[in-house]
Amino acid sequence: MLNTVIRLVSLSRNQLKDVPKLGNKSYEQAAGFLRIPDSNEYLDHTAVHPESYDIAKMIMKRFNIDGSMFGKDEVKTIVNGIKREEVIKELKVDKYTLDDILDAFVAPMRDPRDEFSQPILKSDVLSIDDLHEGMELEGTVRNVVDFGAFVDIGLKEDGLVHISKISKSFVKHPSDVLNVGDIVKVYVLNIDKDRGKVGLTMIK
Protein backbone atom coordinates (compact mmCIF):
# COMPACT_ATOMS: atom_id res chain seq x y z
CA MET A 1 0.00 0.00 0.00
CA LEU A 2 2.87 2.35 0.84
CA ASN A 3 4.32 1.81 -2.60
CA THR A 4 0.99 2.73 -4.23
CA VAL A 5 0.74 5.97 -2.25
CA ILE A 6 4.28 6.91 -3.16
CA ARG A 7 3.60 6.46 -6.84
CA LEU A 8 0.64 8.80 -6.59
CA VAL A 9 1.98 11.64 -4.50
CA SER A 10 5.78 11.63 -4.58
CA LEU A 11 8.05 13.00 -7.29
CA SER A 12 11.22 11.82 -5.59
CA ARG A 13 12.36 9.40 -2.92
CA ASN A 14 13.66 12.31 -0.91
CA GLN A 15 10.09 13.52 -0.38
CA LEU A 16 9.41 10.38 1.65
CA LYS A 17 11.21 12.08 4.53
CA ASP A 18 8.26 14.48 4.75
CA VAL A 19 5.78 11.64 5.37
CA PRO A 20 4.46 11.90 8.96
CA LYS A 21 5.74 9.22 11.34
CA LEU A 22 8.13 7.79 8.74
CA GLY A 23 11.41 7.84 10.64
CA ASN A 24 14.93 7.71 9.29
CA LYS A 25 15.25 3.98 9.91
CA SER A 26 11.99 3.19 8.08
CA TYR A 27 13.09 5.43 5.22
CA GLU A 28 16.47 3.69 5.08
CA GLN A 29 14.88 0.23 4.96
CA ALA A 30 12.13 1.09 2.46
CA ALA A 31 13.72 3.50 0.00
CA GLY A 32 15.59 0.90 -2.05
CA PHE A 33 12.40 -1.08 -2.70
CA LEU A 34 10.38 1.90 -3.92
CA ARG A 35 10.21 3.08 -7.51
CA ILE A 36 9.24 6.64 -8.43
CA PRO A 37 8.66 6.41 -12.20
CA ASP A 38 7.73 10.10 -12.55
CA SER A 39 10.79 11.39 -10.71
CA ASN A 40 13.24 13.65 -12.51
CA GLU A 41 15.97 11.72 -10.73
CA TYR A 42 16.50 8.61 -12.87
CA LEU A 43 18.05 6.71 -9.96
CA ASP A 44 14.64 6.92 -8.22
CA HIS A 45 13.44 4.50 -10.93
CA THR A 46 15.94 1.86 -9.82
CA ALA A 47 16.87 -0.36 -6.87
CA VAL A 48 19.86 1.88 -6.06
CA HIS A 49 19.50 3.16 -2.49
CA PRO A 50 19.70 6.97 -2.03
CA GLU A 51 22.78 6.47 0.15
CA SER A 52 24.55 5.14 -2.95
CA TYR A 53 23.44 7.90 -5.34
CA ASP A 54 26.75 9.76 -5.14
CA ILE A 55 28.80 6.72 -6.12
CA ALA A 56 26.22 5.77 -8.79
CA LYS A 57 26.55 9.23 -10.34
CA MET A 58 30.34 8.97 -10.27
CA ILE A 59 30.08 5.70 -12.19
CA MET A 60 27.61 7.26 -14.65
CA LYS A 61 29.98 10.17 -15.27
CA ARG A 62 33.01 7.87 -15.57
CA PHE A 63 31.36 5.76 -18.29
CA ASN A 64 29.14 8.40 -19.94
CA ILE A 65 25.91 6.76 -18.82
CA ASP A 66 22.75 8.86 -18.84
CA GLY A 67 19.65 7.93 -16.85
CA SER A 68 17.61 7.76 -20.03
CA MET A 69 19.79 4.82 -21.08
CA PHE A 70 18.78 2.65 -18.12
CA GLY A 71 17.36 -0.70 -19.21
CA LYS A 72 18.44 -0.30 -22.83
CA ASP A 73 20.89 -2.36 -24.87
CA GLU A 74 23.40 0.49 -25.01
CA VAL A 75 23.85 0.54 -21.25
CA LYS A 76 24.09 -3.27 -21.19
CA THR A 77 26.99 -3.05 -23.63
CA ILE A 78 28.74 -0.46 -21.48
CA VAL A 79 28.22 -2.42 -18.25
CA ASN A 80 29.48 -5.64 -19.84
CA GLY A 81 32.69 -3.85 -20.80
CA ILE A 82 33.39 -2.38 -17.37
CA LYS A 83 36.42 -3.79 -15.57
CA ARG A 84 34.90 -3.93 -12.13
CA GLU A 85 38.07 -4.53 -10.16
CA GLU A 86 39.52 -1.31 -11.58
CA VAL A 87 36.39 0.64 -10.65
CA ILE A 88 36.47 -0.78 -7.11
CA LYS A 89 40.02 0.52 -6.64
CA GLU A 90 39.52 3.81 -8.46
CA LEU A 91 36.27 4.85 -6.76
CA LYS A 92 36.88 3.02 -3.47
CA VAL A 93 33.54 1.20 -3.64
CA ASP A 94 32.90 -2.32 -2.37
CA LYS A 95 32.07 -5.08 -4.85
CA TYR A 96 28.56 -5.67 -3.46
CA THR A 97 27.54 -2.02 -3.93
CA LEU A 98 29.11 -1.79 -7.38
CA ASP A 99 27.36 -4.94 -8.59
CA ASP A 100 24.02 -3.66 -7.27
CA ILE A 101 24.42 -0.32 -9.03
CA LEU A 102 25.44 -1.80 -12.37
CA ASP A 103 22.62 -4.36 -12.19
CA ALA A 104 20.19 -1.49 -11.58
CA PHE A 105 21.44 0.33 -14.67
CA VAL A 106 20.72 -2.77 -16.76
CA ALA A 107 17.37 -3.68 -15.15
CA PRO A 108 16.05 -0.55 -13.38
CA MET A 109 12.64 -1.93 -12.43
CA ARG A 110 13.96 -5.21 -11.07
CA ASP A 111 13.04 -5.91 -7.46
CA PRO A 112 15.91 -7.70 -5.64
CA ARG A 113 13.33 -9.73 -3.73
CA ASP A 114 12.18 -11.38 -6.97
CA GLU A 115 15.42 -13.37 -7.11
CA PHE A 116 15.38 -14.70 -3.59
CA SER A 117 15.75 -18.44 -3.34
CA GLN A 118 13.23 -20.09 -1.11
CA PRO A 119 14.40 -21.63 2.15
CA ILE A 120 12.95 -24.87 3.46
CA LEU A 121 10.58 -23.63 6.15
CA LYS A 122 9.31 -25.91 8.90
CA SER A 123 5.64 -26.69 8.32
CA ASP A 124 5.01 -26.93 12.04
CA VAL A 125 6.30 -23.41 12.76
CA LEU A 126 3.37 -21.07 12.17
CA SER A 127 3.78 -18.60 15.02
CA ILE A 128 6.27 -17.54 17.66
CA ASP A 129 4.56 -19.95 20.07
CA ASP A 130 5.86 -22.86 17.97
CA LEU A 131 9.49 -21.91 18.57
CA HIS A 132 11.80 -23.12 21.30
CA GLU A 133 15.37 -22.20 22.14
CA GLY A 134 17.95 -24.20 20.25
CA MET A 135 15.56 -25.00 17.36
CA GLU A 136 17.31 -25.23 14.00
CA LEU A 137 15.70 -23.25 11.19
CA GLU A 138 16.42 -22.15 7.65
CA GLY A 139 15.66 -18.61 6.57
CA THR A 140 16.33 -15.80 4.11
CA VAL A 141 18.39 -12.72 4.93
CA ARG A 142 16.05 -9.76 4.38
CA ASN A 143 18.15 -6.87 5.67
CA VAL A 144 21.75 -6.31 6.71
CA VAL A 145 22.49 -3.49 9.16
CA ASP A 146 25.48 -2.36 11.22
CA PHE A 147 24.52 -4.44 14.25
CA GLY A 148 23.47 -7.64 12.52
CA ALA A 149 21.02 -9.13 10.03
CA PHE A 150 17.28 -9.73 9.94
CA VAL A 151 16.27 -13.19 8.77
CA ASP A 152 12.85 -14.30 7.52
CA ILE A 153 12.07 -17.62 9.20
CA GLY A 154 8.46 -17.76 8.05
CA LEU A 155 6.89 -15.71 10.83
CA LYS A 156 5.28 -12.27 10.76
CA GLU A 157 8.39 -10.67 12.23
CA ASP A 158 11.94 -11.37 11.05
CA GLY A 159 14.41 -12.76 13.57
CA LEU A 160 17.60 -10.87 14.39
CA VAL A 161 21.08 -12.36 14.19
CA HIS A 162 23.33 -9.99 16.15
CA ILE A 163 26.76 -9.38 14.61
CA SER A 164 28.33 -11.30 17.51
CA LYS A 165 26.26 -14.36 16.58
CA ILE A 166 27.09 -14.53 12.88
CA SER A 167 30.38 -16.39 13.15
CA LYS A 168 32.88 -17.68 15.70
CA SER A 169 35.45 -15.59 13.82
CA PHE A 170 35.62 -11.80 14.11
CA VAL A 171 33.15 -10.02 11.82
CA LYS A 172 33.93 -6.35 11.14
CA HIS A 173 30.58 -5.72 9.48
CA PRO A 174 27.66 -8.09 8.76
CA SER A 175 27.80 -7.22 5.04
CA ASP A 176 31.27 -8.78 4.90
CA VAL A 177 29.63 -12.15 5.52
CA LEU A 178 25.95 -11.84 4.58
CA ASN A 179 24.01 -10.45 1.64
CA VAL A 180 20.30 -9.80 1.24
CA GLY A 181 18.74 -12.94 -0.24
CA ASP A 182 21.21 -15.40 1.29
CA ILE A 183 19.69 -18.64 2.58
CA VAL A 184 21.13 -19.33 6.02
CA LYS A 185 20.85 -21.93 8.75
CA VAL A 186 20.06 -20.38 12.13
CA TYR A 187 19.25 -21.48 15.65
CA VAL A 188 16.75 -19.86 18.00
CA LEU A 189 18.72 -18.06 20.69
CA ASN A 190 15.96 -16.35 22.66
CA ILE A 191 12.25 -15.61 22.37
CA ASP A 192 10.38 -12.55 23.61
CA LYS A 193 6.72 -13.42 23.09
CA ASP A 194 5.47 -10.20 24.67
CA ARG A 195 7.33 -8.07 22.13
CA GLY A 196 7.16 -10.59 19.30
CA LYS A 197 10.95 -10.64 18.99
CA VAL A 198 13.15 -13.62 18.13
CA GLY A 199 16.90 -13.68 18.64
CA LEU A 200 18.83 -15.99 16.33
CA THR A 201 22.36 -17.27 16.05
CA MET A 202 24.30 -18.79 13.18
CA ILE A 203 26.70 -20.42 15.62
CA LYS A 204 25.55 -23.90 16.57
Q: What pLDDT, in 10s, does the model give residues 2-14?
A: 443 344 344 665 6
Q: What pLDDT, in 10s, does the model give residues 75-99?
A: 999 999 999 999 999 998 888 789 8
Count of C-beta atoms within a 10 Å radius of residue 1: 5
Residues 10-30 as b or e (16 or more Cβ within 10 Å = b): bebbbebeeeeeeeeeebeee
Q: What is the reported pLDDT for 104?
A: 86
Mean pLDDT of the chain: 81
Q: What pLDDT, in 10s, does the model give residues 124-136?
A: 777 888 899 999 9
Give the range among 97-101, 108-112, 189-193 with minimum mean pLDDT: 108-112
**Mean pLDDT of the 113-138 span:** 76
Q: DSSP readout, 122-190? A: -TT--SGGG--TT-EEEEEEEEEETTEEEEE-SSSS-EEEEGGGS-SS--S-GGGT--TT-EEEEEEEE
CA-CA distance, 53 to 138, in Å (whole number)? 33
Domains for the chain: give ranges and CATH numbers.
2-113 (1.10.150.310), 128-201 (2.40.50.140)
Q: What pLDDT, in 10s, does the model give residues 32-61?
A: 556 666 677 888 778 787 788 899 999 999
Count of C-beta atoms within a 10 Å radius of residue 70: 19
**Mean pLDDT of the 137-153 span:** 91
Q: What pLDDT, in 10s, does the model give residues 150-181?
A: 999 988 888 999 999 999 999 999 999 998 88
Which run of H or E residues covers position 96? Answer: helix 95-106
Q: What is the reported pLDDT for 89?
A: 92
Question: Do residues 49 and 19 make contact, with C-beta atoms less than 8 angstroms apart?
Answer: no
CA-CA distance, 9 to 144, in Å (whole number)? 29
CA-CA distance, 177 to 162, in Å (whole number)? 13
Which run of H or E residues covers position 191? Answer: strand 183-192
